[in-house]
Amino acid sequence: MFNNGNKRTALLTALLYLKVNGYSFDILDEVALYNVSIKIANREMSFQQLYQYILRHSYIDFGFSRNILSDKKS
């Protein structure tokens, strides 16, 4: 996300990026998500580990996709 910057901004940017690309992210535990951002900032989590974390917690938002497609028809 950001090598040296605001962790909250980086986290929100990543979540927004997923959303605008038709994905949702399961935020079941805000503390765990915060801890991931701390691990990234402290270089305790590799890119591959972050990638796997995102894969485990994101899914295609078919409702969002339907809304985009229905807006294009109008």
> What is the pLDDT at residue 30?
86
Q: Give the pLDDT of residue 72.
A: 60
What are the structural domain ranges in the chain?
Answer: 7-73
- Partner residues linked to 25 by β-bridges: 58
What type of residue sits at position 52?
Answer: Q
**pLDDT surpassing 80 at residue 65:** no
pLDDT in tens, 22-63: 899 988 888 888 899 889 889 999 999 999 999 999 999 888
Q: Is the dihedral of CA 66, 68, 69, 70 positive or negative?
A: positive
Tokens of 48: 């591959």
